[in-house]
């Protein structure tokens, strides 16, 4: 039945319902994942050098790369089966249970909103640093970043991710251009890795420094799991999501390696570990004004792409909570013309603005990382339960990840190491966030859950799980 | 120039925020709540969407 509703907005609604649009392909999934993450190469990862030296930053690049490869593999399998907005939230709801799902959705919203805040602050600070004008503050640039991107998200997912694809690609290509401009095959001409990273200073704090560096090593790849939020808007989730996510992870591993090599070969670890602009600084140190300006623009574009993807993902997680009545169903409204979760986008907009104006970059980054690692810990448990309840062959999977349960075990162990690293640096924030999630879980269990329509929330046409 | 750009940013932010609030009001007063919140998880798999992009 098609009930076309004609209005002053020249909108036609197909069928009885207004739903999100299925218009995205693998390239958009790549743009969403890599777009969110790539800013981590432009700032963030380098603080790992402050914790443990330049070599520690490289070691965590590889080990945390392993963590995220596990995340991408696990995520691809589960999401190719549970193709719904909300990503890991929808997975948790079907596989673990409502309380876990509620917490996972909050992890997602916090991780992405705080990352969006960090991106906006970074963009504002970068412009202020470039301008060097007395009296110029970052507030106007922060406001413009958050509001313009929220408007873009409000107007439709296809344009949002088309824009993300273009700006992410430009930022990525700038890293490649920088890499090949400094003659990476010759040491001594521009790069001086032999002089800057020596056996005497490679690991200045020993192996405990490597552990401490995990906290910021996360920045090489933080957010790649955000691709799953597009599950309800891609044309072929079973194909596009694994393809886009894996391609994104490979892209990021290459970018991370190139970034470390160039930066560690141009800057001493003492400076690399404290600068906010490692790649922009690397561009300056080459002595080429062209590279300097290219890396400045790329830093801005990477921050924009990340904030753009974060708004997209946080809004979908919040929208999904409303749709299942875990939060008031008012949040589950879809714009009849643009087919976006417009109320969720608008609701999160002032929250992001408020945090961006009052929080500092380090606090925002730490809250984002903490929520992210909590989410990855859940994913390792989730895949074990998924394979146990619905073994291979019992339901159709778009992708089956190899070597199970090794990726889940590796992911869980690396998450524990990262929690320890965060505890070393930001112990009070870790405890505060744990208490917050505990209290909000009590609120959900004893108050909110009675509003949930329990039968409606499980939407996948799966057989009963094994053992039930 | 940078101060000018800063004022332009404030202007754009205010204009777009106002537009979104206006559109939000228009949509919420044009459509019923039942239509706006009618999306259901997993339903799209079964529905053939025939829209023009």
* Residues A250-285 pLDDT 10s: 999 999 999 999 999 999 999 999 999 999 999 999
Does residue A396 have a pLDDT over 90? no
Confidence label for A462 from pLDDT (cuts 50, 70 and 90):
confident
CA A145 to chain centre: 18
**pLDDT score for A96:** 92
Q: Count of A–B CB contacts within 8 Å?
A: 128
**Chain B residues near residue A144 by CB distance under 8 angstroms:** 9-10, 12-13
Nearest to B37 among A144, A333, A461 (CB): A333
Which are the contacts of A332, defined by CB distance < 8 A and separation ≥ 6? A319, A320, A322, A323, A341, A343, B37, B39
The upper half-sphere exposure of residue B28, i.e. CA atoms within 13 Å in the direction of its Cβ, equals 13
Q: Rounded to an integer, what distance in angstroms lies between the CA atom of residue A370 and that of residue A22?
A: 32
State phi, psi for A187 to the nearest 5 degrees.
-95, 140
Facing residue for A336 by CB, picked from B2, B7, B36: B36
- pLDDT at residue A224 greater than cutoff 80: yes
- Chain A residues 337-366 with a CB less than 8 Å from chain B: 337, 342-343, 346, 349
**In sequence order, which residues have a C-beta less than 8 Å from that of residue A31 and are 6 or more positions away?**
A161, A162, A164, A165, A168, A169, A305, A309
Do A324 and B41 make contact, defined as CB atoms within 8 angstroms?
yes
Min Cα distance B29 → chain A (Å) is: 12
Residues linked to residue A191 through DSSP beta bridges, in sequence order: A187
pLDDT at residue A8, rounded to an integer = 40
Give the whole-number percent of chain A exceeding pLDDT 90. Answer: 71
Whether residue B24 and residue A320 make contact (CB cut-off 8 A), yes or no, is no
What are the chain B neighbours of A133 within 8 Å (beta carbons)? 2-3
Q: Point out the residue among B6, B21, B41 whose CB comes nearest to the CB of A323.
A: B41
How many residues are listed for chain A in this entry? 468
Lowest mean pLDDT among A114-123, A366-375, B10-19: A366-375
Which class for A287: exposed (0-12), middle (13-18), buried (19 or more C-beta within 10 A)? Answer: exposed
- Length of chain B as a residue count: 53
Predicted local distance difference test score (pLDDT) of residue A160 = 97
Q: Would an 8 Å CB–CB cutoff place A140 in contact with chain B? A: yes
Rounded to two decimals, the pTM is: 0.91
Helix (H) or strand (E) holding A110: helix A98-131
Domains and CATH numbers, chain A: 26-451 (1.20.1740.10)
Integer Cα distance of A317 and A296 in angstroms: 32
Q: In sequence order, what are the beta bridge partners of A24?
A: A234
Which residue in A9, A133, A334 is closest to B2 by CB distance? A133
- A341 vs A2 pLDDT, higher one: A341
Sign of CA dihedral A352, A358, A360, A365: negative
Tell me how many degrees the CA angle A114-A345-A356 measures, rounded to the nearest 5: 30
User: Out of B6, B23, B53, whose CB is closest to A158?
Assistant: B53
CB A140 to CB B7 under 8 A?
Answer: yes
Q: How confident is the prediction for chain A on average, in pLDDT?
A: 91
Are B13 and A17 in contact (CB < 8 Å)? no
Specify the pLDDT at position B48.
Answer: 38
Average pLDDT value for residue range A232-238? 88
Using DSSP's 3-state secondary structure scheme, residue A11 falls into coil
Burial, A111: exposed, middle or buried (Cβ in 10 Å; 0-12, 13-18, 19+)? buried
What pLDDT score does B46 carry? 40
In a 3-state reduction of DSSP, which class is residue A191?
strand
ipTM: 0.86
Residue A21 near chain B (CB below 8 Å): yes
Q: Do B47 and A22 touch (CB under 8 A)?
A: no
The Cα A233–Cα A22 span in angstroms is: 4
The residue of chain A nearest to residue B25, with distances taken between CA atoms, is: A343
Spatial separation of the C-alpha atoms in residues A23 and A362, rounded to whole Å: 36
């Amino acid at each position: 039945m098609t009930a076309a509703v004609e209005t002053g907005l020249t909108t036609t609604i197909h069928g009885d319902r207004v739903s999100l649009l299925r218009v995205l392909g693998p390239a958009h999934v790549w743009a969403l994942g890599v777009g969110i993450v790539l800013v981590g190469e432009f700032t963030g990862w380098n603080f790992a050098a402050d914790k443990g030296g330049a070599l520690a930053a490289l070691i965590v690049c590889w080990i945390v790369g392993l963590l995220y490869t596990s995340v991408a593999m696990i995520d691809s399998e589960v999401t190719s089966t549970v193709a719904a907005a909300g990503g890991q939230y929808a997975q948790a709801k079907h596989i673990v249970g409502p309380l876990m799902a509620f917490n996972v959705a909050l992890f997602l919203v916090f991780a992405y909103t705080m990352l969006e805040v960090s991106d906006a602050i970074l963009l504002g600070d970068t412009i202020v640093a470039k301008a060097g004008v007395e009296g110029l503050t970052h507030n106007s640039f922060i406001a413009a970043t958050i509001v313009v991107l929220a408007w873009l998200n409000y107007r439709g997912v296809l344009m949002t991710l088309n824009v993300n694809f273009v700006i992410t690609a430009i930022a990525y290509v700038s890293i490649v251009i920088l890499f090949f401009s400094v003659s990476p095959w010759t040491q001594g001409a521009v790069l001086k890795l032999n002089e800057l990273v020596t056996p005497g200073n490679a690991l200045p704090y020993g192996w405990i420094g490597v552990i401490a560096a995990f906290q910021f090593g996360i920045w090489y790849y933080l957010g790649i799991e955000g691709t799953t939020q597009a599950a309800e808007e891609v044309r072929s989730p079973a194909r596009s999501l694994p393809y886009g996510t894996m391609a994104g992870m490979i892209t990021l591993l290459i970018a991370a390696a190139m970034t470390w090599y160039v930066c560690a070969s141009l800057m001493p670890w003492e400076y690399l570990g404290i600068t906010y602009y490692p790649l922009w600084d690397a561009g300056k140190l080459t002595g080429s004004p062209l590279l300097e300006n290219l890396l400045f623009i790329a830093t801005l574009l990477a921050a924009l792409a990340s904030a753009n993807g974060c708004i997209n993902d946080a809004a979908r997680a919040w929208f999904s909570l409303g749709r299942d009545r875990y939060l008031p169903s008012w949040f589950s409204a879809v714009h009849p013309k643009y087919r976006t979760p417009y109320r969720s986008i608008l609701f999160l907009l002032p929250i992001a603005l408020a945090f961006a104006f009052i929080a500092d970059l380090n606090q925002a980054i730490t809250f984002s990382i903490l929520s992210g690692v909590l989410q990855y810990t859940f994913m390792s448990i989730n895949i074990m339960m998924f394979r146990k309840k619905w073994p291979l062959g019992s339901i159709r999977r778009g992708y089956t990840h190899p070597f199970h349960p090794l990726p889940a075990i590796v992911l869980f162990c690396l998450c524990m190491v990262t929690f320890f690293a965060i505890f070393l640096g930001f112990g009070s924030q870790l405890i505060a966030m744990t208490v917050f999630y505990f209290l909000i879980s009590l609120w959900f269990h004893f108050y909110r859950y009675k509003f949930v329509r329990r039968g409606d929330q499980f939407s996948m046409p799966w057989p009963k799980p094994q053992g039930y | 120039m940078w101060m000018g750009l800063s004022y332009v940013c404030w202007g754009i932010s205010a204009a777009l925020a106002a537009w979104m609030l206006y559109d939000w009001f228009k949509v919420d007063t044009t459509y019923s709540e039942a239509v706006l919140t009618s999306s259901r998880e997993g339903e799209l798999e079964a529905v053939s969407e025939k829209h023009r992009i």
